[in-house]
A = this chain, B = another copy of it.
Amino acid sequence: MSGYMGKLLTVDLTRGELGDEPLEPTWAHDFVGGAGYAARYLYDELGPDTDPLGPENTLMFMTGPLVGTRAPSCGRHEVCAISPLTGIWGESNSGGFWGAELKFSGYDGIVIRGRSQSPVWLSIVEGQVPTLHDAASLWGLGTYETQQRLRDEMDDQKLRVASIGPAGENLVLYSAIMNDHGRAAGRTGMGAVMGSKNLKAIAVRGRQRVPLADRQAFRLTTKHALQTVIDDITSQVYCQMGTASFVDMSMMWGNMPNKYWSQAQFDKATNLSGVTMMETILTRSVPCYGCAVACGREVTLKDTPYGVEVVDGPEYETVAMLGSQLLVDDLPGVAYAGHLCNRYGLDTISAGSSIALAYLLYDRGFITSADTGGLPLKWGDVEVAHTLLEMIALRKGFGDVLADGVKRISARYEAGDLAVHVNGLEPAAHDPRALSGMAIIYATSPRGACHMQGDMYAVDMGLTFPEVGIHPSGRFKTRGKSKVAAKVQDWRTLYNSAIMCVFVNPTAPVLAKLLSEVTGWSSDIVLWQRAGERIFNLKRAFNNRLGIRRGNDRLPERLFIPMSNGSKGRTPRMETLLGEYYACREWDWNTGKPTRDKLISLGLQEIAEELWA
């Protein structure tokens, strides 16, 4: 018997009905869990007629087989639905403790349908019947306050809460679902989907042990895996300096964007680095569940005018998107901006990008102070960014415009060619001019310009999984790059199904072994890599049905304007990258769909029939 035969909680918010549903065993096997399982599940109920903010969009919170075990860095959960920001497949995963806690409560995931008439929150506590509660008094609260209120109300300071803030309530298209302390399912606007359903929060608590097919073997493998993670120098770097440790090297390479992708270097960026943070405002490193890395930051803003003391500190993406992109080098100011995003429930990448685009449009005369309600948007001004973040979350004045993300902002001001996004999602702070691998990743990711499936920026820095064919090559290389990128995508797709964090990992065979020992299925790496490939192609089919064609596999033209210094005037050779990518993916050049044969070879017979009908 498999060790992975759990259940889902189904919630019909329209009718106020809750129920249990077992995992479909063949889906669990073929799509693992997390975003993989959700993709298969949602494939059958969402489609081109789904309004992402309508009651017909289904929102899934998913854990996976490794979540809540002692395997390293496996406390994460996935949130999936059609994205209101992009109109295609939406997914976002978050760390912290919430995912593991959901597992401890006895559930592998939650399926949320419909729309509540009035605000509610959901409790899932082991030993109690899962219950919907009135959330009228929570509506309008920030995410930290919401968590504290529910802990107090349930009289349990270890209650784990995932909630939206005002941004999600106000349907900001890139609002996040926050959990624990400053952990975010940030990307693709899952917070807005939750807000559209009038669901403010989900509180979870439990003490069940996660079932394991081979507990003894798993304990040994875990010990070995953990040691690998601990011994990795990156763990120590991340622990001491967080992901912002990457700032100086990233700037040197031309990877960190400045002035909304328009300036090659920002010499003050070092003021935003992890080293500076460590030497100035850092109070401690914060780990997620079962993590030996602890890249999370806690910083003090005691000596600032912001009226807060200790807050969750910014990661690399945040210091780039709310720092260098605005030519801001004031680290406490950026940390406070990040804190506002956490409190209001905003994705820092999309929020920072939207604000940076607004600064650029102001600079270039597309918008004037008449548009902004008198606010001058000047490069380097972080105070205005603070004001804008609140205006965005509340959709107040000019904030209402920025709340829709760069694609819609740029369309409004007829500056579509100045917006940097892929299929509506703003890229992370990895400039594809500096790393050719990120070019093909952004262009082909199932959720737009995504840096998480996969992290070719890390591969170009030296990350390797030799057993699944993932090797570094020159950062400007073109030939052969797409093949590796596709393997990274498949591999990371397994991660977001398992679910394991992508920062500092055991080797591929060890991960396969861990999965095998939890589920009772094969430990053959090829099968697990193939599961990743299956899921990746399934998401592609999901998107093809929503209108994605080959033409969508691209970067904005702006990113072909060469930059001096770090990226040395290089720009991605998309034609070659895409040609090789399509060849190794076996996708159809004309339609952009996976070929019928490819889908069938991955065991996706049903999908093949429908997609090629």
Q: In the assembly, what is the distance between CA of A414 and CA of B552, in Å?
A: 9
A55 in contact (CB, < 8 A): no
Q: Which listed residue (B369, B415, B551, B557) contacts A365, Cβ 8 A?
A: B551
Main secondary structure of the interface of A (DSSP, over half): loop
CB <8 Å contact, A416 and B417: yes
- Cβ–Cβ < 8 Å partners of A557 in chain B: 417-418, 556-558, 561
Nearest to A551 among chain B residues (CB) is: B366
Nearest to A547 among chain B residues (CB) is: B414
**How many copies of this kind of chain does the complex include?**
2
A367 in contact (CB, < 8 A): yes
CB <8 Å contact, A590 and B368: yes
Q: In the assembly, what is the distance between CA of A413 and CA of B548, in Å?
A: 11
- Cβ–Cβ < 8 Å partners of A592 in chain B: 365
Q: In the assembly, what is the distance between CA of A560 and CA of B261, in Å?
A: 14
Nearest to A362 among chain B residues (CB) is: B551
A246 in contact (CB, < 8 A): no
Query: A383 → chain B, closest Cβ, in Å?
Result: 21
Give the residue among A414, A417, A553, A554 with the most B Cβ atoms within 10 A.
A417
- Cβ–Cβ < 8 Å partners of A553 in chain B: 365
A411 in contact (CB, < 8 A): yes
Nearest to A370 among chain B residues (CB) is: B591
- Those of A539-566 within 8 Å (CB) of chain B: 549-554, 556-558, 560-562
CB <8 Å contact, A549 and B417: no
- Those of A189-216 within 8 Å (CB) of chain B: none
CB <8 Å contact, B591 and A554: no
A379 in contact (CB, < 8 A): no
Q: In the assembly, what is the distance between CA of A367 and CA of B551, in Å?
A: 7
Nearest to A560 among chain B residues (CB) is: B561
A41 in contact (CB, < 8 A): no
A589 in contact (CB, < 8 A): yes
- Those of A588-608 within 8 Å (CB) of chain B: 589-592
Q: In the assembly, what is the distance between CA of A556 and CA of B560, in Å?
A: 13
Nearest to A558 among chain B residues (CB) is: B557
Query: A263 → chain B, closest Cβ, in Å?
Result: 12
Query: A555 → chain B, closest Cβ, in Å?
Result: 9
A331 in contact (CB, < 8 A): no
Q: Which listed residue (B361, B369, B419, B551) contacts A413, Cβ 8 A?
A: B551
Q: Which 3 residue pairs across A and B have the least CB separation, nearest first?
A: A365-B550, A366-B551, A416-B416
Known: A365-B551, A413-B551, A417-B558. 16 other contacts (CB 8 A): A364-B550, A364-B551, A365-B550, A366-B551, A366-B552, A367-B551, A368-B549, A368-B591, A410-B416, A414-B552, A417-B417, A417-B557, A557-B558, A561-B561, A561-B562, A562-B562
5 contacts between A and B (CB under 8 A): A365-B553, A368-B591, A369-B590, A417-B558, A557-B561
